[in-house]
Amino acid sequence: MSISRRHFCAGLLLGALPLRTIAAPRTLTLGLFPNLPVNKLVEIYQPLANYLTQQLGQPVRLSSAKDFRSFYLATRNKEFDLIVTAPNLAWLAMTESHYQPLVRYAKRVSGILVSAKTSHIDKVNACRGKTIAFTDPLTIVYQLGVSYLKTQGLQADTDYLPIPYNNHTNAALSVMLGKADCAMIGQLPYAQMSVEVQSSLRIIAHTPEVTSQFILANPDLSTAVRDNIRTALIRYAYTTTGAAFIDTQRLGGIINAVPADLATLQTYGLITQAQLSAPTP
């Protein structure tokens, strides 16, 4: 058989192979914890998903959940390849489902107590006897807020009436629209809100700070893939789009994260774990 014919037959054999042997890269799912409305989360994180798609050579799509409990359950069931989540939920993801921390945002997280600029409420004690909007009790800001108010002599359901909302934006809007007197919201989500919302609110107190949001990887991803993603995320901060992302969202930077960073959040993680174990109303 001539060389040319041998090559021709080899080509026929390759052409006869099932198409599934030339598989397209698997899509990675980036899960976003629902601290903001879905449209806002997509606006913030779609550029990052596009960047990761380019850097990793495989599609990255955004996903979330209807509320914090649903997001926790999806994480526990390892439905996300990557997650961006709050520090207390990151601790649970690592300890319960073995998600691996990749990076975290440099700026620390705190809660802020806000009132309407048009109101007379300009200090913490003025919230006594008032309504205070909160985010879901599973959020770190809820825990920080309730704890801080206790140190100021304000006990929930005794000195103020807490009103639950499903995300920080809706809690802030409740004050803006006169549905609540004050709101305890995250400083980071506040920075991500529109100028219209921010300009209508007055910040009257800050809670203590804790480590910020984490990005973690599903343990089923190989070490090599996790390392590639970690490197890409850290490099993102040095791109034009990434620098704008960090500046606009007031993140302070994207830095390497290790399990020890989450160990300091055990107290908040255990509180959250107990809340999740309690029967739902």
Residue range 69-95, pLDDT digits in tens: 999 999 999 999 999 999 999 999 999
Least trusted range by pLDDT, from 14-18, 139-143, 186-190: 14-18
User: What's the rounded Cα separation, in Å, for the pair 217 and 84?
Assistant: 9
What is the structure's pLDDT at 92?
97
Average pLDDT over residues 122-128: 96
Average pLDDT over residues 152-170: 95
What is the structure's pLDDT at 6?
42
Q: What is the pTM of this model?
A: 0.82
What is the structure's pLDDT at 216?
98
The closest alpha carbon to 132, from 146, 119, 118, belongs to 146
- Output the six-digit token pair for 257: 């994260």
Least trusted range by pLDDT, from 14-18, 100-104, 193-197, 257-261: 14-18
Residues 6+ apart with CB under 8 A from 250: 107, 188, 191, 192
**CA torsion through residues 152, 265, 191, 184, sign:** negative
Where in the chain do CATH 3.40.190.10 domains reside?
Answer: 28-108+211-277, 111-206
Mean pLDDT over the full length of the chain:
90
- Output the six-digit token pair for 218: 């599903």
What is the structure's pLDDT at 111?
96
Q: What is the pLDDT of residues 174-227, one digit of tens each?
A: 999 999 999 999 998 898 898 999 999 999 999 999 999 999 999 999 999 999
Helix (H) or strand (E) holding 29: strand 28-32
What is the structure's pLDDT at 280?
63
Percentage of the chain with pLDDT > 90? 82
Q: Exposure string (b/e) for 93-118, b if CB count within 10 Å is 16 or more?
A: bbbebebbbbbbbebebbbbbbbbee
CATH code of the domain made up of 28-108+211-277 = 3.40.190.10
User: What's the rounded Cα separation, in Å, for the pair 180 and 162?
Assistant: 9
Average pLDDT over residues 12-18: 42
Task: Answer yes or no: is pLDDT of 10 > 50.
Answer: no
Residues 6+ apart with CB under 8 A from 27: 58, 59, 60, 61
How far is the CA of 38 from the CAs of 4, 62, 140, 166, 167, in angstroms?
A: 58, 10, 19, 12, 10
Task: Answer yes or no: is pLDDT of 57 > 50.
Answer: yes
Average pLDDT over residues 117-123: 95
User: What's the rounded Cα separation, in Å, for the pair 97 and 71?
Assistant: 13
Task: Answer yes or no: is pLDDT of 115 > 90.
Answer: yes
Task: Answer yes or no: is pLDDT of 4 > 80.
Answer: no
Name the pLDDT band for 48 (thresholds 50, 70, 90). very high
> Is the Cβ–Cβ distance between 259 and 217 less than 8 Å?
no
What is the structure's pLDDT at 11?
41
Say which CATH topology domain 111-206 has: D-Maltodextrin-Binding Protein; domain 2 (3.40.190)
The closest alpha carbon to 52, from 208, 210, 220, 241, belongs to 241
> Is the Cβ–Cβ distance between 44 and 249 less than 8 Å?
yes
17 three-class SS: coil
